A = this chain, B = another copy of it.
């Protein structure tokens, strides 16, 4: 914690008042829009402010108002695309309302890390909290103050707090359908981690799509969102000639897979088609450019702020809501027609 005895303190409203020869209240009036202050009085006050470099004390304002004008944001490793873009959306939308955002990063996605991050944050000066994908912690474990307005994105918290989620199922359906339309007999899947809710939705939807189409449902591979694991599994995938289409749980995994396929001499998309998920910016500049399901993370961030500020400002109205943001298949060049020579695979 910062040293509380540091004397460095700016000029207060009363310092300005003394210099300008008016009362503190008049300074306060000038500092705000100010109703009814004589122009010459205002000028005097403004001059005094200028001279002393007056800046309002936010702690005092917050104390008096009972609000901080700041919300907290809790995320896990937010340099990852989804987290970073959602955070950006949150920050932008909050800024537009003159609300600041205090960010806390959870280093490892484990319960005690989430706990300590949450407690750190609730010990900060915030009026509300945005939680982005707390996959490894339950609401109870987080032990958030009961009177703190909270909204979440995409997590098991959705039942408990208002949530903004991307339409995982829709995107997955489009991706699988796209591959089937290209003539692939079936679609393989590299899933996300087992404890991730979005990963589970993508997995379930993929399976259901294949079942509904009457296709064989191959055993999915289990990934962990990383390119490294996509690359590792990729060696195995590349070695299996029956694999002609792979739907990856996210773009990083798809990129790792792409490298492995290249190294194994499997051509993309001639031999194998690949679809990612997320729509990271670099997907457009991989070789070949990556077909993917893009999510509008900025929109998620904006909706989160809207929901949260509603809750912060309203006194009642607390039934959990759920806002769904659409996803969109972006077809680039990692998907193509099924190769003829592998059609021996039974439908």
Chain A interfacial positions (CB closer than 8 Å to B): 1-4, 6-10, 53, 55-60, 62-70, 77-79, 81, 84-85, 87-88, 91-92, 95, 97-105, 107, 117, 120-125, 127, 145-147, 227-228, 230-231, 252, 255-256, 258-259, 262-263, 281-282, 284-287, 289, 309, 312-313, 315
Task: Let me know if B58 and A6 touch, CB within 8 A.
Answer: no
What are 29 A-B contacts defined by CB distance under 8 Å?
Answer: A1-B69, A2-B68, A3-B313, A4-B64, A6-B313, A9-B66, A56-B123, A59-B59, A59-B62, A59-B125, A62-B63, A69-B124, A78-B88, A79-B81, A79-B87, A91-B104, A100-B120, A100-B125, A103-B103, A252-B285, A255-B285, A256-B285, A258-B285, A259-B286, A259-B289, A262-B287, A263-B287, A282-B282, A287-B287
Q: Which residue of B lies closest to A7 (CB)?
A: B315
Q: Is the CB of A58 within 8 A of B125?
A: yes
Docked-complex contact A122 and B313, CB < 8 angstroms = no
Report copies per complex.
2
CB distance from A248 to the nearest CB of B (A): 12
A153 to nearest B CB, angstroms? 15
> In the complex the two chains form, is A285's CB within 8 Å of B313's CB?
no
Chain B residues within an 8 Å CB radius of A230? 285
Instruction: Kindly report which residue of chain B lies nearest to residue A54, judged by CB atoms.
Output: B145
Q: Once bound together, how far apart are the Cα atoms of A91 and B102, in whole Å?
A: 10
Complex: A42 Cα to B231 Cα, angstroms? 57
Partner of A95 from B56, B92, B105 at Cβ < 8 Å? B105
Choose one: B58, B77, B281; the contact of A124 (CB below 8 Å): B58
Q: Do B2 and A127 have beta carbons less than 8 Å apart?
A: yes
Residues of B within 8 A of A228 (CB): 284-285
How far does the alpha carbon of A98 sit from the alpha carbon of B116 in the complex, in Å? 11
A120: which B residues are within 8 A, CB to CB? Answer: 95, 98, 100
Q: B101–A103 contact, CB under 8 A?
A: yes
- Cβ contact within 8 Å between B69 and A6: no
- A258: chain B residues within 8 A (beta carbon): 285, 287
A101 / chain B contacts, CB cutoff of 8 Å: 102-104
Quote the shortest CB–CB distance from A61 to chain B (angstroms).
8
Residues of chain B within 8 A of A63, CB atoms compared: 57, 59-60, 62-63
Given contacts A1-B97, A98-B120, A103-B103, contact A8 B145 (CB under 8 A): no
